[in-house]
Structure 1
Amino acid sequence: MSEAPGVAASSGPDEEDQREVILNNDLERRIAEAFDIFDVGNNKMCEARDVPTIMRGLGMCPTEAGVQEVIVAVEHPRIPGSVHLRHFLPVIVQAITEHRFEPAGPEELLEAFKALDVLGKGYLTKEDAVMFMTQDGEPFSQEEIDEMLELAVDPLSQTVPYEYYINQLLVEES
């Protein structure tokens, strides 16, 4: 019997977990493919800590509160810290179809950058960008900061010309 890491044999997957998960459409297949990357035991299970990565891999942008809400909804009832695809799939399908964790659009991003650029220069300094990402609102992880700065910072001026950055994001999405 396959088990989640660190889980005693008596609390392993039950009969329901052993049944095949039927994928009915392309959205469900895409979610299952993203989930399978973290299914190291090849038993349709992953660790709850992988849920935010899977969600972001599907193009979702949840807050930490949103992540916790999803984890509570999908966590295996008998194996704490584990998630079965059978529980994960309907919650994520619903979240995607309801557009619950969609990223901000280009207009919203532009307005946010303009609000931070109080002098109207058309750019933020690299230092200011890092400060805003770590000190205000929900802080970004170091990995998220590094990823954003790699694309956003002009190597010559060491600033974030935000209209150019937003256009770069749109090109990468295409």
Structure 2
Amino acid sequence: MADDKDSAEAILSVVHKKIGDAFDVFDHEFNKTVDVREIGTIIRSLGCFPSEAELHDIIAEVEEEEPMGYIRFEKFLPAMTMVLMERKFGPIPEDLLLQAFEVLDQQKKGHLDPEELTKYMTQEGEPFTQEEMEEMLSAALDPDKNVIFYKDFVSAMAVDDT
């Protein structure tokens, strides 16, 4: 039985270190707090991809009441530990991402124009901000052809779940 307990403690220790390391990157004042606007980036760096609504729920759970706008590590750690241990907010599987792009490619060209993709991504569902759209296009756009070959982009975006 001791082996199971030791093993669980070892896993928990690794998870806590991973969360602490990600948090520390954004703890610019080294006071175990981060700006609430950094939480989405921290969570995504840990391999979790919540929707905006799910992200707001997490923030509501861990944000300081006074002063507002900050997250303390001591509140973030247990909440994020649960998220990681329960494997919540995993990435969307590669085949589903590809299907989504194929739906947008109504002429079955195998690529999308940046204007088309921008229109879909900024006007539907949870709209991307201008900054998010620019970041996506910088990664997705083929510089020679000025189109998004989405099969290549989806492959590049895929997360190895190992």
Range class of TM-score, shorter chain: 0.7 to 0.9
The one-letter amino acid of 1:109's match is L
Q: Distance in 1 between matches of 2:15 and 2:101?
A: 33
Alignment check: 8 A CA contact 2:93 2:158 kept: no
Alignment check: 8 A CA contact 2:111 2:150 kept: yes
The one-letter amino acid of 1:87's match is K
Matched, 1:169 2:157: yes
Deviation digits for residues 24-50 of structure 1 (CA, Å, limit 9, x no counterpart): 411211111111122233221122222
Alignment of structure 1 residues 138-149 onto 2, 5 Å: 138-149=126-137
Which structure 2 segments of 5+ residues have no match? Answer: 1-10
SS for the counterpart of 2:59 is helix
Q: TM-score, normalised by structure 1?
A: 0.77
How many matched pairs?
152
Tell me which residue corresponds to 1:53: 41
From 59, 75, 78, the counterpart of 1:71: 59
Matched, 1:91 2:79: yes
Q: Distance in 1 between matches of 2:44 and 2:159?
A: 19
Q: Distance in 1 between matches of 2:91 and 2:77?
A: 20
The alpha carbon displacement at 1:65 in A equals 1.0
Query: Against the structure 1 CA distance between its residues 90 and 172, is the aligned structure 2 distance closer, same or farther, given a 3 Å change threshold?
Result: closer
Tell me which residue corresponds to 1:34: 22
Q: Distance in 2 between matches of 1:171 and 1:62?
A: 15
Matched, 1:114 2:102: yes
Report the aligned-residue RMSD.
2.4
SS for the counterpart of 2:34 is strand
Deviation digits for residues 2-25 of structure 1 (CA, Å, limit 9, x no counterpart): xxxxxxxxxxxxxxxxxxxxx941
Q: Distance in 2 between matches of 1:49 and 1:168?
A: 26
Tell me which residue corresponds to 2:144: 156
Q: Distance in 2 between matches of 1:89 and 1:57?
A: 15
Structure 1 stretch displaced more, 70-79 or 81-90: 70-79
Alignment of structure 1 residues 125-136 onto 2, 5 Å: 125-136=113-124
Q: TM-score, normalised by structure 2?
A: 0.82
The alpha carbon displacement at 1:72 in A equals 0.8
Which structure 1 segments of 5+ residues have no match? Answer: 1-22
The alpha carbon displacement at 1:171 in A equals 8.6
Q: Distance in 1 between matches of 2:42 and 2:118?
A: 25
The one-letter amino acid of 2:60's match is V
Task: Tell me which protein shows more helix as a share of its residues.
Answer: 2
Q: Distance in 2 between matches of 1:105 and 1:171?
A: 8
Alignment check: 8 A CA contact 2:91 2:159 kept: no
